[in-house]
């Protein structure tokens, strides 16, 4: 009963939920994980091919244990997605060292932990897809974006290096830079012009298409945004 | 009998032919154009939804006339692709001013002519896809790449500016950076390791997926390469 | 009486004049050239180590003839600076093909012509400095910047390729990206906050310091802006 | 006896020592700090305008205490330089989480700690220079460079954000990307072609010239390399 599985770290009601649904619709089992695993249970109730998990994505041992559990209980992880971030917009002198470090740990480090945890078995199988949710706004080192730009520029650099290390072993690593706020109840309330909100189902489709690419025509970096918004 | 049409400039036996087939398979009529239109006739014989055209893509009036003809004879151009380039690898002091200019005219200027020629009707219809074939190798300004780097860096810059100008009017402009030689009889002969050759059908699939993106989740820039090659 | 000479293409009352004065203060003769050479005569009257020249920098033969003349009449060109640009901010569909091409010819092509014209003798002497005035605003492919972004992105790409081609022969090629309007009577009138204007003498100092770098510690790309303005 | 002081974190026998000498020659007192402060004492013996300090640059409280001590004992810190890094080239799957984190902590975090520690007094004085030693090779996310690319891409992003936050307050923040190995006994032994080694005194001169720039013509990013080497 072990079936190909997509493991998604950092699932909430927004992009994470769209990713769960899209990879499920593509015929994979899905393991959805979040810091607060309880919240996920209700979200995907009724589909026993979707499992919910609690994990601290900044904790390498916890991520490794989760991957072991998912491979044992659901099936080989063919797709692994790191979809976490932390936010604080403030001048660099108003950030504490704890905040600066925590934003890097939440926005960059989980990609490393996840890659380490899934790569060994993926390499043995000769294939696998590893995708990272980046942010164009957070990579842009504007005033107030010091901590986030460090985290998300680091994530992009990690994606490039991991792709070069793991591509020749058959692993497809890619970075998706989302340029603009993702459509949600919260962002609809905060943005008068809803044309400026990026559709989570549309983003999830882009992730799925990356997974479907043949290895002789892989993308490593794509951006996603709306027609109306160019930061 | 007017049906949605994809117009592809710079069609040869390689990526251009794959693009023709992919957009045709997607249900569009296709107008294929090349400097030597004669060569195209045999390539797509037997499918009367594919028309062949001769055009000098560096000549703005000729491109505009071609667009008029295609919209009249085939249907509204819903997809327009500029797929041309010129090559010469040489130190900058060994390039003539004529060569330097001609490489820019072949690798960058057709994107401008094509955009100008199709944008007016696309804007009136409120939609359209405009795609440019870029080259990561040609954008990388290594020794010997002076002329090509100027042309292809310019193409990428044009793609970004055109996307910002035309996106809010409903036009999806995107740049595809191909990173590595495209698989063909010629590149197979020149490269011992065929894993290093990018699959033209795989690239064409990426173009088609860009065309299918909803306007609330558009990509402007993607790269395509093989698992084995990272320049 | 042949003395080391700095040749500056594209001299007006602004940055060009500051460059003339800075390299003159550094002990070099200076040949100042502009499309309207007449205007220059008054500008530097009274210093017979500064000569004024008329040239169309988009014309390769004219630039080559100017270099010959300067080397004959003033001395070996040890520093060559391309300092020209053309402006038009407009959506891509409102630019004519003539304008699009002319902006590239004014903003990028002179760097090629100048490099070709000076490189041969510089290579024979085993040294020389070639500097290009770029523009961060013009490289940024924002809405309305299609033509300028193509020209100035191309200029930067040319600088990188030329540096790789010519560096090992002892020629120092560098690109200076000016980020913001240069201080002048015109920009003072147009900008209420003069802190946002970049000081031409400060920029010229940066060019001179690039020229003074030892070949074991060369910069290829620098930006210059004011403390108050970050585009 | 309080005199303007340059504080340099991460001083060894190479670039750090050149920076100490260059800023001292420019008339500033210099406070040189390293993890192993003992080693520094002999290095600058005989010049009582140079003081040696021991500090763990990854420890924010220790960096803040050092800045307090230097401002008290030597004078106002007008120049602060973060010049530390850590190295490990390995595929991402061969790096431990501890190594990955430690490389970020050594290569990026000290810039944050130093900026926080000096900015408050610099803002009160309305001026100050903060410089970061980056590395082009370490920013390039090639195979094996996962950890270092994350650290040094993050450093560059931090430099840009800090410059935007602090520039309008009169603080000049800049990032110097060194492209190639720095000349030393060790790199001379490892590289047959000494033309490929970047001269530390030349690099230090570039840092000093950045410090001397007027605020109406500041550079935020420069690279330094040799004529013979372009990575």
Q: Is D157 on the interface with A (CB under 8 A)?
A: yes
- Residue pair B58/B48 in contact by the 8 Å Cβ criterion: no
A154·D104 Cβ contact <8 A? yes
Give how far A212 is from chain D: nearest CA, Å. Answer: 24
Give how far C202 is from chain B: nearest CA, Å. Answer: 29
C227·D216 Cβ contact <8 A? yes
pLDDT at A231: 59
Look up the ipTM and state it: 0.95
In sequence order, what are the beta bridge partners of B198?
B182
pLDDT at D86: 84
Mutation to test the D interface, candidates A65, A149, A152, most D Cβ within 10 Å: A149
Span B25-46, mean pLDDT? 91
Q: Is A189 on the interface with B (CB under 8 A)?
A: no
Q: Which of C127, C136, C143, C137 has its CA nearest to residue C94? A: C143
pLDDT at D230: 64
| pLDDT, mean over chain B | 94
- Residue pair C112/B92 in contact by the 8 Å Cβ criterion: yes
Q: Is A158 on the interface with D (CB under 8 A)?
A: yes
pLDDT at A1: 62
What pLDDT digit, counting tens, does each position of D167-208 carry? 999 999 999 999 999 999 999 999 999 999 999 999 999 999
Whether the predicted pLDDT of D39 surpasses 90: no
CA distance C62 to C69: 10
Tell me which of C86 and B160 has the higher pLDDT.
B160
Which residues in chain B are closer than 8 Å to A199, comparing Cβ atoms? Answer: 214, 216-217
Span C224-230, mean pLDDT? 87
CA-nearest residue to A152 within chain D is D154
pLDDT at A59: 97
Q: Is D68 on the interface with A (CB under 8 A)?
A: no
Q: Which of A69, A62, A81, A77 has its CA nearest to residue A19? A: A81
* DSSP for chain B, written as a single string: ----EEEEES--SSHHHHHHHHHHHTT-EEEEEESSHHHHHHHTTT-TTEEEEE--TT-HHHHHHHHHHHHHHT--EEEEEE---------GGGS-HHHHHHHHHHHTHHHHHHHHHHHHHHHHHT-EEEEEEEEHHHHS--TT-HHHHHHHHHHHHHHHHHHHHHGGGTEEEEEEEE-SPBPSHHHHHH-S-GGGSBPHHHHHHHHHHHHHS-TTSB-SEEEEB-TT---
What pLDDT digit, counting tens, does each position of B95-124 carry? 999 999 999 999 999 999 999 999 999 999
Mutation to test the B interface, candidates A133, A217, A222, most B Cβ within 10 Å: A217
Whether the predicted pLDDT of B68 surpasses 80: yes
What pLDDT digit, counting tens, does each position of D127-175 carry? 999 999 999 888 888 899 999 999 999 999 999 999 999 999 999 999 9
CA distance C66 to C85: 19
- Residue pair D179/D225 in contact by the 8 Å Cβ criterion: yes
Whether the predicted pLDDT of B55 surpasses 90: yes
3-state secondary structure of A190: helix
CA distance C64 to C115: 10
pLDDT at C86: 84
pLDDT at D84: 84
Residue B161: which of C115, C142, C155 has the nearest Cβ? Answer: C142
Q: Which of B149, B108, B164, B106 has its CA nearest to residue B132? A: B108
D227·C170 Cβ contact <8 A? yes
Whether the predicted pLDDT of C230 surpasses 80: no
B219·A205 Cβ contact <8 A? no
Instruction: Give the contacts of C6 (CB within 8 A, at least 6 positions apart).
Output: C19, C20, C23, C24, C28, C29, C30, C31, C77, C78, C79, C80, C81
Q: How many CB pairs (< 8 A) connect C and D?
A: 102
Per-residue confidence band for B146, with pLDDT thresholds at 50, 70 and 90: very high
Tell me which of C1 and D101 has the higher pLDDT.
D101
Whether the predicted pLDDT of A132 surpasses 90: yes
Q: Is D175 on the interface with A (CB under 8 A)?
A: no
Q: And the tokens for A151?
A: 């985290």
Residue A212's φ and ψ, nearest 5 degrees, are -80, -10
pLDDT at A136: 86
pLDDT at B36: 85
Q: Which of D129, D135, D130, D112 has its CA nearest to residue D58? A: D112
| pLDDT, mean over chain A | 94
Whether the predicted pLDDT of D36 surpasses 90: no
CA-nearest residue to C93 within chain B is B116
């Amino acid at each position: 009963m072990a079936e190909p599985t997509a493991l998604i770290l950092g699932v909430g009601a927004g992009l994470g939920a769209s990713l769960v649904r899209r990879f499920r619709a593509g015929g994979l089992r899905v393991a959805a994980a979040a810091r607060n695993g309880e919240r996920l249970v209700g979200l995907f109730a009724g589909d026993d091919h979707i499992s919910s998990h609690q994990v601290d994505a900044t904790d390498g041992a916890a991520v490794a244990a989760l991957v072991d559990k998912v491979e044992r209980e659901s099936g080989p992880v063919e797709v692994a997605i790191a979809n976490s971030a932390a936010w604080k917009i403030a001048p660099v002198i108003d950030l504490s060292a704890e905040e600066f470090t925590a934003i890097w740990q939440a926005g960059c480090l989980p990609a490393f932990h996840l890659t380490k945890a899934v790569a060994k078995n993926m390499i043995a199988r000769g294939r696998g897809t590893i995708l990272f949710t980046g942010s164009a706004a957070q990579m842009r080192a504007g005033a107030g974006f010091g901590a986030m730009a460090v985290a998300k520029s680091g994530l992009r650099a990690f994606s490039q290096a991991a792709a070069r290390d793991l591509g020749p072993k058959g692993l497809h690593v890619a970075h998706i830079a989302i340029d603009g706020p993702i459509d949600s109840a919260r962002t609809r309330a905060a943005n008068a012009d809803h044309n400026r909100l990026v559709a989570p189902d549309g983003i999830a489709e882009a992730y799925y298409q990356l997974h479907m690419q043949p290895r002789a025509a892989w993308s490593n970096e794509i951006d996603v945004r709306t027609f109306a918004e160019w930061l």
